């Protein structure tokens, strides 16, 4: 997300709309390795990764994550800037208040019990919307790779950016080697980097999943759907001293409370076309 250079060389606009950006916040929480292995059933080099929707973000678009490291866990949130702007008023809760809220969920609270927070960090991150990519990834004497070129995507299963950063870096390095052989670092010579990038999985993914990026950043996906699923789950797993309703009745109760079958059908159709 560091666009100082891209702005300086005229490849990025001075103003990048926050609508297509998110803020990631992360705590590193240290544990004794033995505690970590027992708590998360880890062995040797194995690890665990969890993603969270719904409660985690307290009504803001985005999600939560928790993954284990060798002797710590990383716990954090990725929150859409547009949604934060709309839903968090000045002097209202701050982003770390939402992280604190997330940490109070019984599941998370138990996972982090006894750990020591040793690091807190925040970072602006692209949602993967190509509208915030620089106008070009090359200019006279300049190549833009990785996150500086907004080569990053949140298509639902994960935030993906490290592989794109590595691969675009390799392609940029190859273009530099060729330019050095020719003794020509002009934009015309460095253009081969753009061509290689377009041919690679990086731009193919960015283009193929644009609809998915737009679909996944809709309000219904981070609000209505998790609430509906949790409502249904709560009814389904609750046992009371009274006749248990049929599962279909529980489902329609949840659907009516949070949405409608028509809205769900439309959403499903949109999802099927975009994913």
Positions that interact with ligand FAD (CB under 6 A): 2, 24, 26, 76, 78, 123, 125, 146-148, 152, 158-163, 165
CB-neighbour burial class of residue 105 (10 A; exposed 0-12, middle 13-18, buried 19+): middle
Q: How far apart are CA 62 and CA 221, in angstroms?
A: 9
Query: Least separation, in Å, of the C-beta of 60 and ligand FAD?
Result: 14
Question: Residue 2 or 208: which CB sits closer to ligand FAD?
Answer: 2
Query: Least separation, in Å, of the C-beta of 178 and ligand FAD?
Result: 22
Question: Residue 167 or 258: which CB sits closer to ligand FAD?
Answer: 167
Question: Residue 4 or 272: which CB sits closer to ligand FAD?
Answer: 4
Q: How far apart are CA 22 and CA 161, in angstroms?
A: 14
Question: Residue 141 or 245: which CB sits closer to ligand FAD?
Answer: 141
Q: How far apart are CA 129 and CA 20, in angstroms?
A: 6
Question: Residue 50 or 218: which CB sits closer to ligand FAD?
Answer: 50
Query: Least separation, in Å, of the C-beta of 147 and ligand FAD?
Result: 4
Question: Residue 145 or 225: which CB sits closer to ligand FAD?
Answer: 145
Query: Least separation, in Å, of the C-beta of 36 and ligand FAD?
Result: 19
Q: How far apart are CA 142 and CA 160, in angstroms?
A: 24
Query: Least separation, in Å, of the C-beta of 166 and ligand FAD?
Result: 8
Is 129 in a helix, a strand, or coil? coil
**Secondary structure, 3-state, 170-229:** HHHHHHHHHHHHHCCCCHHHHHHHHHHHHHCHHHHHHHHCHHHHHHHCCHHHHHHHHHHH
Query: Least separation, in Å, of the C-beta of 4 and ligand FAD?
Result: 7
- Closest to 193 in 3D by CA, of 178, 210, 205, 209: 178
Q: How far apart are CA 76 and CA 35, in angstroms?
A: 20
């Amino acid at each position: 997300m560091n666009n100082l250079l891209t702005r300086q060389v005229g490849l990025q606009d001075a103003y990048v709309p926050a609508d297509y950006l998110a803020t990631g916040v992360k705590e590193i929480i240290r544990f004794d390795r033995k505690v970590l292995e027992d708590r998360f059933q880890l062995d040797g080099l194995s690890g665990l990764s969890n993603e969270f929707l719904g409660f985690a973000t307290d009504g803001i678009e985005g999600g939560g994550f928790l993954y284990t490291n060798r002797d710590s866990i990383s716990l954090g949130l990725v929150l859409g800037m547009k949604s934060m702007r709309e839903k968090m008023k000045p002097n209202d809760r701050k982003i770390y208040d939402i992280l604190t809220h997330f940490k109070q969920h019984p599941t998370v609270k138990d996972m982090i019990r006894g750990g020591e927070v040793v690091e807190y960090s925040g970072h602006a991150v692209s949602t993967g919307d190509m509208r915030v990519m620089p106008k070009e990834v090359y200019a006279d004497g300049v190549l833009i790779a990785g996150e500086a070129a907004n080569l990053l995507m949140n298509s639902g299963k994960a935030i993906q950016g490290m592989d794109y950063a590595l691969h675009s870096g390799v392609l940029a390095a190859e273009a530099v080697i060729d330019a050095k052989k020719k003794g020509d670092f002009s934009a015309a010579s460095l253009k081969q980097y753009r061509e290689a990038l377009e041919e690679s999985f990086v731009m193919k993914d960015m283009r193929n999943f644009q609809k998915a990026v737009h679909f996944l950043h809709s309000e219904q996906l981070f609000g209505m759907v998790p609430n509906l699923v949790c409502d249904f789950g709560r009814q389904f797993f609750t046992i009371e001293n009274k006749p248990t309703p049929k599962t279909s009745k529980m489902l329609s109760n949840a659907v009516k409370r949070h949405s409608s079958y028509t809205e769900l059908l439309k959403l499903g159709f949109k999802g099927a076309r975009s994913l």
